[in-house]
A and B are shown apart, each in its own frame.
Chain A
Amino acid sequence: MNRASSWQLMTTIMRRDLAVALRRRSDVINPLLFVVIVVTLFPLAVGPGPDILGRIATGVIWVAALLSSLLGSERLFRDDFLDGNLEQMVLSPAPLPLLAFGKVVVHWLLSGLPLVILAPVCALLLKLPFAAWGTLMLTLLVGTPMLSAMTAVGAALTVSLGRGGALLSLLLLPLFIPLLIFAAAAVESTLVGTSAYGQVLLLAGLMLLTLTLAPLAVAAAIRVSVN
């Protein structure tokens, strides 16, 4: 199979994934609603004072984003695994990491990008100072692709298990820690008035590293799971 037709197969799979997701909107919307609800719970739990909420806003939004990425992870490979599509992808002459990359991109478009757009609402609810909104959105913009790629690794590893949910969180959440640390540090440094440039660049570097290596791990995991 030459390069052009591999590329074509990838775009076809991406288009199909998008079409399927847009026809089953609740799968896309529920994880986003989850984020909004988690964010709503915090003011009720710790009190609505702006001094507390503003301090914890970034952390709460990012933790909610991490958890919601786990919620939406089943959508990545489960249906394809059950109806045999995943097997066809393994058998196809197109490189499997490329197809996996396509699926990661679609997953990001449906779960990461809406989160970036939703971020100002969450920031408003949690009374994050306006000056930090831009940095928060920027960290989400460079951080969520990494989230999607790592989630794809976990989802591919557990796709053949009926009950992957709790296991998936055990596998993935420890690996998300650098993301959480740098994102929180970026917003924090904006809040204290210094530049968040360094942390955002670090996040972008991590994102590129993950997007380069994760498709290979996803492909290996799919081969193991399809078997």
Chain B
Amino acid sequence: MWKWLHPYAKGEATYRLLGLWQPWLTGLALAFVSVGLVWGLFYAPPDYQQGDSYRIIFIHVPSAMFSMGAYTGMAIAALIALVWQIRTAEWAIAAIAPVGATLTFVALFTGAVWGKPMWGTWWEWDARLTSQLILLFLYIGVLALYYAFNDARTGAKAAAILALVGVINVPIIHFSVYWWNSLHQGATITKFEKPSMPPEMLIPLLISIAGFLFLTAALITQRLRNEILKQELHRPWAMAKLGVEANDGV
């Protein structure tokens, strides 16, 4: 496995690999997100209780899921960056954090919009809302620390340590606020039980979730490629890359 993985410590190799994945991820993201959202927002049946306003679930649930998934990804990148001192993993932290923060914000925003007609309030000091808000603060903290240092390498390592400290704290924070207060409904989709949702709603939701997964991956891939190019700008391959692309444009 190491023989296979090790070349990707080099920026150029990772850049090439991500370049291969990029069109597939973007295409799949476009296809799944558009099918999932069009199906969910226009063709899925209205809910017997919440009417049409439940449809925000097709954006809310996927973004909330991958706001946490992105944090896990960032923490894994942080661990790799700290243990094996691989620079591409350090750049991955910077690539993932803004995407994760945006997903967290989207989840909070759609939740507030959904909460207004259903609960009668934009914001409630409820467990899930609070832990999502704290997740947003953690992302912002990692980003702020990453860019606070003059030496980018120091900043990346400091941010990696903070991301790992955060990953130990996230479950603690999650359960503490969960015991503290709760209004949010329980999980709709669980692995072990029959879903409490009819298939006409469940299928577009699952498609939308897959779409957001590909979208998140595509955005992170693009950001990581940009970051690699920016950091390796002094190397011949990156200059050649940019030079060639500039010539193509002319």
Partners in one complex: yes
Interface residues of A (CB under 8 A from B): 153, 157-158, 160-161, 167, 170-171, 173-175, 177-178, 181-182, 185, 206, 213, 217, 220-221, 224-225, 227
Establish whether residues B137 and A170, one from each chain, have CB atoms under 8 Å apart when the complex forms. Answer: yes
B68 at the interface (CB under 8 A from A): no
CA distance A75 to B140 in the complex (A): 25
- B144 located at the interface, meaning its Cβ lies under 8 Å from any Cβ of chain A in the complex: yes
B158 at the interface (CB under 8 A from A): yes
With a CB–CB cut-off of 8 A, which chain A residues contact B173?
A: 174-175, 177-178
B164 on the interface (CB 8 Å rule)? Answer: yes
A158 with B161: CB separation less than 8 A:
no
Please tell me the size bucket of the interface on B. 20 to 34
User: Which one of A153, A158, A174, A227 lies within 8 Å of B134 (CB-CB)?
Assistant: A174
Does any Cβ of A come within 8 Å of B50's Cβ? no
Q: What is the bound-complex CA distance between A174 and B161, given in angstroms?
A: 16
Interface residues of B in 168-188 (CB under 8 A from A): 168-169, 172-173, 176-177, 179-180
Determine if B138 and A225 form an interchain contact, defined as CB atoms under 8 angstroms apart.
Answer: no
Contact A221 B145, beta carbon cutoff 8 Å: no
CB distance from A217 to the nearest CB of B (A): 5
- State whether A157 touches B137 (Cβ < 8 A): no
User: A157-B162, A175-B165 are known contacts. Are A181 and B180 too (CB-CB below 8 A)?
Assistant: yes
Tell me, in angstroms, the Cα distance from A224 to B141 when the chains sit together: 17
- Is B148 engaged at the interface, CB distance under 8 Å to the other chain? yes
**C-beta contact mask, B130-158 vs A, less than 8 Å → 1, else 0?**
00001001101100110011010010011
B158 adjacent to A175 (CB under 8 Å): no
